[in-house]
Amino acid sequence: MKLRSIAATFMAGAFLVALAPGAQADPKGCSNATLKGTYESLLSGTVNGVPFAALDLVTADGNGNITASGTIVDNGTVIPTTFTATYTVNSDCTGTFSSSSGTTENVELLLDGSEVRIIVTSTALGPATVTGLAKRWTTSN
């Protein structure tokens, strides 16, 4: 009976370890190549204390370069936009983004690169509190 109890405890512990966050994570982590393809990006918040939103289609080449186009709404004014950017993705799936418009962002990627969480860290337009999410574009979107 004691052996059965020890075996049950071991199996329960093994199950919990398998469920732990990161227990089955890819040991290779992330890199610039993780961010590759076309993404739908939606950002919202405030810039200079007024409402701001942006909806973009962003294409990342997997080598640190981005091209994008979309629409910005800044305090009710609709502005079509295009831009280029560079990015760096670290092995822990965090990274940085710097666009031709002067905006910088910190990002966090899912390990497979399918989603990117975004926080704007600076903008040429002024002080900003803007966050967002980009999801890889697929045929089911």
pLDDT, tens only, 97-138: 999 989 999 999 999 999 999 999 999 889 999 999 999 987
Has this prediction a pTM greater than 0.95?
A: no
Between CA 6 and CA 66 the distance in angstroms is 55
Range 66-77 average pLDDT:
96
Confidence (pLDDT) at 14: 37
Closest CA to 35 of 102, 82, 84, 95: 95
The domain defined by 32-136 carries CATH number 3.20.20.210? no
What are the backbone dihedrals phi and psi of residue 28, each rounded to the nearest 5 degrees, phi first?
A: -80, -20
- 69 with 54: CB under 8 angstroms? no
Confidence (pLDDT) at 37: 97
Confidence (pLDDT) at 139: 66
Domain boundaries along the sequence of the chain: 32-136
- 12 with 107: CB under 8 angstroms? no
